[in-house]
Amino acid sequence: MNFEVFISCAVTGAGDTVDKHPAIPVTPKEIADAAIDAAKAGAAIAHCHVRDPETGRGSRNVELYREVVDRIRSSGTDVVINLTSGMGGDLEVGADEDPMTFGPYTDLVGPLTRLAHVEELLPDICSLDCGTLNFSDGNMIYVSTPQQLRAGAKRIQELGVKPELEVFDSGHLWFAKQLHSEGLVDDPPMFQICLGIPYGAPADTATMKGMADALPDNAVWAGFGISRMQMPMVTQAVMLGGNARVGLEDNLYLDRGVFASNAQLVERAANIIELMGAKVIGPDGAREKLGLKKK
């Protein structure tokens, strides 16, 4: 069991949730405010996507990221900033017998283009989604090939940013470990075990334990489950020696039929962790575990 736990809060994501929740953060101000509120509630790390303020859809716009980061950094609230680099991997295969006519949700760019905002803003951490994944029941695929991942990991390392190796299935974990063994990820490696997204690894005890057992000995890791499995997976991660992630990217509800805020989800997770007899640590504690310098 992990007795000193940091909480990451994924405050908005890029999914189609704007019409499913009355207060999904969309504008840079809303996203920054959500990150700040989550930090005040006990989150050590804020994981941020940005959205197009007009449409609510996920965006790669560097200026939107700049406003979010500037607002957080100037707020006086200490939190470790973790920016996604997953945008730009979406491929909507064409329907039926016309797969090469890609759909309107396709946004597929190269590995360095996906890092444009990381280059500009140098966050503490950026995510690196370590494999390709069928995404839900339609024709959406998230594309992240070995060649792309090696190029992205190398550039992240050159920038001095800590990669959060997001693994959605066992093959992703296998390749993330390969990046580490090739020297493209510095010690200690940081892993995020991402469970419950159709059709990656399911959110259950056996799966999280199997993936946690396969991590490098010096890994610092966290885990999460989506939707109703968010809080059960907080417990599982801590029991297995990991840290926790919550937030509106992964789950919209505090209780059945009760919409959550990011701060409420952090507070709920912190309460669970403390009832387990563990301590919730803040940004400085997370930096110490991850080998980060305060910026």
- In the chain, the number of structural domains is 1
In a domain, 97, yes or no: yes
In a domain, 105, yes or no: yes
Where does the pLDDT of residue 136 fall: very low under 50, low under 70, confident under 90, or very high at 90 and above? confident
Q: What is the pLDDT of residue 251?
A: 98
Domain span holding position 159: 4-290
Residue 293 has pLDDT above 90, yes or no: no
The pLDDT > 70 percentage for the chain reads 100
State how far the alpha carbon of 6 is from the alpha carbons of 87, 134, 177, 263, 289, in Å: 25, 30, 22, 15, 9
- Three-state SS for 165? strand
Q: What is the pLDDT of residue 178?
A: 98
Model pTM greater than 0.95?
A: yes
Helix%, strand%, coil% for the chain, nearest 5 = 35, 20, 40
In a domain, 35, yes or no: yes
In a domain, 295, yes or no: no
Residue 295 has pLDDT above 80, yes or no: no
CATH number at 58 reads 3.20.20.70
In a domain, 28, yes or no: yes
In a domain, 234, yes or no: yes
pLDDT tens across 159-192, in order?
Answer: 999 999 999 999 999 999 999 999 999 999 999 9
- Give CA angle at 270 (172, 267), nearest 5°: 105
Give 128's strand partners: 165
pLDDT tens across 61-76, in order?
Answer: 999 999 999 999 999 9
Q: What is the pLDDT of residue 294?
A: 79
In a domain, 281, yes or no: yes
